[in-house]
Amino acid sequence: MKSPETLLEACGGRIRVVALTGIRSEYDLLFPLLLALDADSAFDLGVIASGVHPTPLHGHSLRHIEEDGFRVAAVIENLLYADSRSAKARSAGILLTSLAEVLSREAPDLLLVLGDREEAVVGALAGTYLGVPVVHLAGGDHTHPVGGNVDEEVRHAATKLSHVHLTMAEAHSERVRRLGEEAWRVHTVGSGGIDRLRLFPGLDRAALAEILGEAVRGDYLLVIHHPVSSAIGSAAGEMRLILEAGLATGLPLFVGAPNSDPGAAGILEVIDAYAADPRVQVYRNLPRDAFTALLRHARCLLGNSSLGLHEADYLGLPVVNVGERQRGRSAGPHVQFVDASRAAIEGALERALHDAAYRAGLQAGQSLYGDGHMAERSVEILKSLPVKERLLAKRLTY
């Protein structure tokens, strides 16, 4: 009898996949692929929700996973609420211990992880030790803020611990190959964020106004700002400068909560201090169609979210990226990188909001990070993977 050549054949025509997620932003990048896997009879999908998902920090985002209809294989409560580097490391340790138990019980054929947060490297480590092939999405990216950023090290460490790489751009694939990964393991598929915009265009302004109020019927700024690991002490001050510069435009501000990294508490304190201003509206967790609409209809995105590089590019949305986060990443002409000074922020906002020639040059419907078909490509790649034994037998190419 002929031995199976693919993982799908070896699994009897149905691959057991679990995806690890720790925060809403990362889950939304995974979502189009999870949707495609769940709809395909070749896969049996489960989601492991950890980190912020079971907590109130982002509005109990676990419920969105449940409402999306995916099987929740496990809920891991590993996030420690102390806003410190030590708490981050200890949270990762709790995640590793719990994940080892979950993976042993679930016995998946593949583990999906994404990006450069602790879930990616911890998941890849657990999968490697337990003999579960790891598929890493969005590896090979690169950022080099002054002082460094732990995301850079985590991303590349996750790459080396993973067995299949689904990257967002060809330059990222080349970087993964230069890390010594065999070429057959590396695939350029694009960003799930672009898929999300294509598949779920969001609400019109009238429907969005029913959720967020009348301010969305006109021009407004969307503000999302996260801490940087090498400059935790600067996070609150940067947020204050951003809000002051934003308010100086005279436009309403819609302000999102930061991620759960050290320094986030200071940002939240500043946001809370400005929340009483009628021009400032704070949200923590919106339905997917509402957030997509909020992004799509914004006049400008202000802060340092990776949304500014990926989804905003596809929408032709001007972005003012403040500070060091995202420095070094590939970005289209829609992004202005500025120092964390009020004068620099206000100057960039003036151009983003009022320079007609600049705005006219920003084209929607195209992106450096894909064409909105990441999920379909990824599903076909996963179906064609070789058997587990070959996946696990990694070799350096140098």
Q: Are residues 47 and 112 both part of a single domain?
A: yes
* pLDDT higher than 90, residue 324: no
Out of 22-36, 136-150, 159-173, 361-375, least confident range? 136-150
* Rounded CA separation 398/141 (Å): 21
Label residue 393 by pLDDT band (50, 70, 90). very high
Domain annotation covers residue 51: yes
Contacts of 90 (CB under 8 A, 6+ apart): 80
Of 321, 316, 311, which is closest to residue 370 (Cα–Cα)? Answer: 311
Domain annotation covers residue 198: no
Over range 95-101, report the average pLDDT. Answer: 98
Q: Are residues 229 and 286 both part of a single domain?
A: yes
Over range 328-346, report the average pLDDT. Answer: 94
Over range 217-235, report the average pLDDT. Answer: 90
Q: Are residues 21 and 157 both part of a single domain?
A: yes
CB 345 within 8 A of CB 301: no
Of 374, 325, 371, 332, which is closest to residue 150 (Cα–Cα)? Answer: 325
* pLDDT higher than 80, residue 117: yes
Over range 104-127, report the average pLDDT. Answer: 97
Q: Are residues 235 and 355 both part of a single domain?
A: yes
Over range 217-222, report the average pLDDT. Answer: 98
Buried b (16+ CB within 10 A) or exposed e, 273-309: ebeeeebbbebbbbebebbbbbbbbbbbbbbbbbbbb
**Hey, what are 128's tokens?**
């490697």
* pLDDT higher than 70, residue 89: yes
CB 112 within 8 A of CB 30: yes
pLDDT score at 145: 65
**What are 49-71's pLDDT values in tens digits?**
999 999 887 678 899 999 999 99
Domain annotation covers residue 44: yes
Mean pLDDT across the chain, nearest whole number? 94
Domain annotation covers residue 197: no
Q: Are residues 132 and 258 both part of a single domain?
A: no
Residues pairing with 254 in the sheet: 222, 281
Out of 147-151, 232-236, 300-304, 309-313, least confident range? 147-151
Could you tell me which residue, 365 or 185, shows the higher pLDDT? Answer: 185
Domain annotation covers residue 258: yes
Q: Are residues 182 and 48 both part of a single domain?
A: yes
pTM attached to this predicted model: 0.91
**Hey, what are 250's tokens?**
């005279």
pLDDT score at 147: 61
**What are 252-276's pLDDT values in tens digits?**
999 999 988 888 889 999 999 999 9
Domain annotation covers residue 1: no
- Structural domain range at position 222: 203-360
Q: Is the dihedral of CA 251, 252, 257, 263 positive or negative?
A: positive
Q: Are residues 178 and 304 both part of a single domain?
A: no
Q: Are residues 151 and 21 both part of a single domain?
A: yes
* Rounded CA separation 306/384 (Å): 31
* pLDDT higher than 80, residue 231: no
pLDDT score at 372: 94
User: What residue ranges in the chain does DSSP mark as E strands?
Assistant: 15-21, 43-49, 72-75, 110-114, 134-137, 164-167, 186-188, 221-224, 253-256, 280-283, 300-303, 319-322, 335-338
Domain annotation covers residue 196: no
CB 296 within 8 A of CB 203: no
> What share of the chain has pLDDT > 90, as a percent?
82
pLDDT score at 60: 82
Query: Helix (H, G, I), strand (E, B), or coil: what is residue 252?
Result: coil
Query: Which value, to the nearest 10 degrees, does the dihedral of the CA atoms of residues 198, 257, 260, 137 take?
Result: 10
* Rounded CA separation 201/181 (Å): 36
* pLDDT higher than 90, residue 7: yes
Q: Are residues 323 and 377 both part of a single domain?
A: no
pLDDT score at 232: 81
Q: Are residues 383 and 344 both part of a single domain?
A: no
SS3 content of the chain, % helix, strand, coil (to 5): 45, 15, 40
| Residue 207, domain CATH | 3.40.50.2000
* Rounded CA separation 65/291 (Å): 16
Q: Are residues 269 and 346 both part of a single domain?
A: yes
Domain annotation covers residue 169: yes
> What share of the chain has pLDDT > 70, as a percent?
98
User: How many domains are contained in the chain?
Assistant: 2
Contacts of 70 (CB under 8 A, 6+ apart): 34, 38, 45, 46, 47
Q: Are residues 118 and 81 both part of a single domain?
A: yes
Q: How many CB atoms lie within 10 A of CB 267?
A: 26
